[in-house]
Amino acid sequence: MPSPILARADALMQRRRQPDAEADDVPILTDAIDDDFPLLVDEETPPAPLPPRIDAAAPSPDATTPDPEMLEQLARELACRVEQRLVAELPRLIESTVRDFLAEQQMLADLRSRD
């Protein structure tokens, strides 16, 4: 069974306004809402308490301090991987830099030759 509010809204949307009708005769959608219709500002239940904030700088209670040897190993591994990425990317970076430089030089030479 359809809602009476939706049925009223459908009827209002389908109704055509007569050219000689008075302005007061135009139905308003809010006419279909009953007085007992709950509003968004009505509070039915109290809000749930917010969980406590967790400070990102504070260590968690079950966190253990990392082993210094483990930190050193992690740093060495990170440095090794960064070096590998640089070695892999360096030829491409040099090639594009030289190509851009030569293109700029050619463009400057072309401009000088026009003058």
Q: Is 27 in contact with 16 (CB distance < 8 Å)?
A: no
pLDDT digits 0-9 by tens, 70-112: 999 999 999 999 999 999 999 999 999 999 999 999 999 999 9
Is the CB of residue 32 less than 8 Å from the CB of residue 13?
no
On whether the pTM is more than 0.75, the answer is no
Answer yes or no: are the C-beta atoms of 42 and 59 closer than 8 Å: no
How many domains, the chain? 1
Q: What is the pLDDT of residue 66?
A: 79
Give domain status of residue 61, yes or no. no
* Domain limits for position 100: 4-41+66-114
Asked whether residue 47 is assigned to any structural domain, the reply reads no
Write out pLDDT tens, residues 11-50: 777 775 555 555 556 666 666 656 665 566 656 666 677 7
Residue 55 banded pLDDT, cuts 50, 70, 90 = low
